[in-house]
Amino acid sequence: MQQSSKPHVVVIDWSRQPVGDPELAVESAGLGAAASVEYHLCDSDDDFNDRVLSASALIVWHNIPIRAAGIKKLRNCRAIIRNGVGYDSVDLEAGRARGIPVCNVPDYGTEEVADHALALSLALARQLFPLDQEAKRLGWQLRVGEKMRRLRGRTFGVLGLGRIGMAAALRAKAFGFRVVFYDPYVSNGVDKAVGVDQVDTLEELLRLSDIVSLHTPLTKETFHLITARELSWMKPSAFLVNTARGALVKKDDLFAALRQGHIAGAGLDVVEDEPLRHATEAATPNLIVTCHAAFCSVESKLEMRATSARIARAAVLGEKLENVVNGASAP
């Protein structure tokens, strides 16, 4: 059967763990008459078939790697849209070299991720999971009392004061934390506008903070930003929370620090080389791990999909694109 000459957009979902909607109702509504939309399951760009390679735009779920070799094969693509905040899975330079803008959706899960960061922080500070386990053993011994912390007056350190970092900072203030942040890219005066304190170095942030919450993208600059050296700067009573990208933290160094008691605990929604690979990793003491789900809510997923569809529609129509992260202009 002959394919329609109408432009088409392809939504690429991860075949190992699909979370998209094959019915594509949100995407179809957002694209309207500008283009048809199709749903394809892939593990990587090695799985791209002719319909993917001939698409006018790609909407990409999860962290499916879109590498230079895959980008080189795209024939009509006017935008690659990451269905989420992070874009480290897409070769930005290869896209720019081909004149293909890479876009993301940076604001769809701001509330959810900030809420999740605070939830992990509270669970660690108030020892919710050990208390839950004790109560469900039909016991009532307060074995973790020495680990429980009063929140008011403690220092909540935010690494990266972007949309989500600022939302987390404001939530922490509401709980009575003193909030400090480190972000070398934030303009002077933001601290005054938000009512938080700025520090000049990562080391100062880590030494000051009782809870350190990471809110920065994964780039060459931030890969393994937290290793054994940085963990050694933290207080033995401090907690590390990561709802950003797993590879910001060198996993082996963090788990060693937890086993050796160099820090008091960690709450991770993301893990380097996720998911956890071994039972020994899962047995790491004072560790809470959730399933890269901080972004997730019914509302956030609908908002994300609608934004991606809107960007794809603009790409098909040759209009200005939102949230371009690689500096490219559509061909």
> In the chain, what are the domain boundaries?
8-108+298-317, 110-289
Tens of pLDDT, residues 283-316: 999 999 999 999 999 999 999 999 999 999 999 9
pLDDT class for 4, splitting at 50, 70, 90? Answer: low
Q: How far is CA 18 from CA 21, 51, 202, in A?
A: 8, 19, 37
If you average pLDDT over every residue of the chain, what do you get?
A: 95
CB 99 within 8 A of CB 331: yes
Residues with Cβ within 8 Å of residue 227, at least 6 apart in sequence: 250, 253
Superfamily in which the 8-108+298-317 domain is placed by CATH: NAD(P)-binding Rossmann-like Domain (3.40.50.720)
Give the distance from CA 288 to its chain's centroid: 17
Q: Decide if 277 is catalytic.
A: no
List, for residues 56-90, the tens digit of each pLDDT value.
Answer: 999 999 878 999 999 999 999 999 999 988 899 99
What residues are paired with 287 via a beta bridge? Answer: 266
User: Residue 19: its pLDDT value, please?
Assistant: 86
Question: What gap in Å lies between CA 251 and CA 135, rounded to an integer?
Answer: 31
pLDDT at 1: 39
Can you give the pLDDT at residue 139? 87
Would you place residue 2 in the very low, low, confident or very high pLDDT band (cuts 50, 70, 90)? very low
Catalytic annotation present for 204: no
One-letter identity of residue 117: A
Q: CATH number of 110-289: 3.40.50.720, 3.50.50.60, 3.90.780.10, 3.30.70.2190? A: 3.40.50.720
Q: Which helix (H) or strand (E) covers residue 190, if one does?
A: helix 190-194
- Is it true that 8-108+298-317 and 110-289 share their CATH fold? yes
Q: How confident is the model at residue 107 (pLDDT cuts 50, 70, 90)?
A: confident
The catalytic residue among 78, 171, 215, 292 is 292
pTM of structure: 0.86
From 38, 134, 204, 274, the catalytic residue? 274
Annotation marks residue 23 as catalytic: no
The one catalytic residue in 8, 82, 171, 245 is 245
Contact indicator for 268, 289 with CB cutoff of 8 Å: yes
